[in-house]
Amino acid sequence: MAVTGVLRPGFVQMRVMDLEAAIIHYRDRIGLEMSGEPVDGRAYLRGFDEFDRHSIVLREAKQPGLDMMAFKVRSDNDLDRFAGRLNGMGVKVETVPAGEQPGVGRRIRFVTPTKHTIDLYTEMALAKEGPMISNPDLWHKEPRGMRATRFDHCALSGIDIDGSAKIFTDALDFEISERAVDEPSNTRLAIFLTCSNKAHDVAFLGHGEDGKLHHASFLLESWHDVGHAADVIARYQISRDIGPTRHGITRGQTIYFFDPSGNRNETFAGGYQYYPDNPLREWSSDQAGKGIFYYEGRLNDTFLTALT
């Protein structure tokens, strides 16, 4: 499948209350690589299998949560085209100048109906020790911690998830791969969207308060690695939400846990491949628990309430 326009999730900037503790968590426990020393109160990291300079930005602040999620697009022409589409839908677009983050070119920014800030960009400098490209070994140095290969997706929570999903489908050419629906009211409970052949690149989850981060997810290679992540969580007494388990929605294998500031993380493996001719997968409200946690068949309380 040719990926054009929006290529993938590029980076997420999260607020943390103790930058030093957050670096230990994301670098040493999840296993990300630092992209230089922290600057301007922000630390920049990436998975060991990512070419670009960074995919995770941690900003020290008084409250945890999400600053923005950014997607990389193929070309400057695409960036301008998406800006025009967004304006045509009545969505206000702002420009973030090149250099606001180290190595990142100009970005365009909009805010979804669920009050999430979304950036689009084309240019990012390559990592100094990105994946090898000439007779490549698997990695420069042996992965550590949970061995996260890359930033995978975010789930964002708010009220008008239909309105947010419509921007992604109509302006940015995303597809809805799967959703959960309350059939009596025809209310969407969760919407999973993809710009690639992954099961999802971003998800919107219904919640009574806007602008919330549900989780940031990191890709692992296998179900075995999800189990290894659980070993790391137990060894270092990291606050665990649920898992290891499996999703019905996306079919991914998963474990959820929290960073020291309370932002929920996920390590994720597997999941089905999506193609644009696939029929829409849909879950009814009475089966939504099984959709989220396939083995347990129900949601735990913290999954619905512990948001930042």
Any catalytic annotation for residue 215?
yes
Distant-in-sequence, close-in-space partners of 142: CB < 8 Å, separation ≥ 6: none
Given the residues 25, 54, 116, 153, the one annotated as active site: 153
Neighbours of 236 (CB within 10 A): 12
Do 97 and 103 contact (CB within 8 A), yes or no? no
With CA atoms as reference, report the closest residue to 61 among 117, 13, 11.
Answer: 13
Do 48 and 287 contact (CB within 8 A), yes or no? no
186 sits in the region (left: phi over 0; alpha: psi -120 to 50; else beta) called left
Phi, psi (deg, nearest 5) at residue 175: -115, 145
Any catalytic annotation for residue 116?
no
Distant-in-sequence, close-in-space partners of 104: CB < 8 Å, separation ≥ 6: 53, 98, 121, 123, 124, 125
Furthest C-alpha separation in the chain: 57
> What are 11's two structure tokens?
């980076």
Q: Specify which residues 175 forms β-bridges with.
A: 194
Given the residues 116, 215, 228, 274, the one annotated as active site: 215
Given the residues 116, 207, 247, 274, the one annotated as active site: 247
Any catalytic annotation for residue 44?
no
Do 64 and 308 contact (CB within 8 A), yes or no? yes
The residue type at 24: I
Q: How far apart are CA 23 and CA 18, in angstroms?
A: 9
Q: How far apart are CA 282 and CA 228, in angstroms?
A: 31
With CA atoms as reference, report the closest residue to 180 among 244, 250, 112.
Answer: 250
Given the residues 200, 207, 214, 228, the one annotated as active site: 200
Neighbours of 99 (CB within 10 A): 10
With CA atoms as reference, report the closest residue to 170 among 193, 203, 142, 190.
Answer: 193
Q: Specify which residues 188 forms β-bridges with.
A: 181
Any catalytic annotation for residue 140?
no
List active site positions: 153, 200, 215, 247, 256, 266
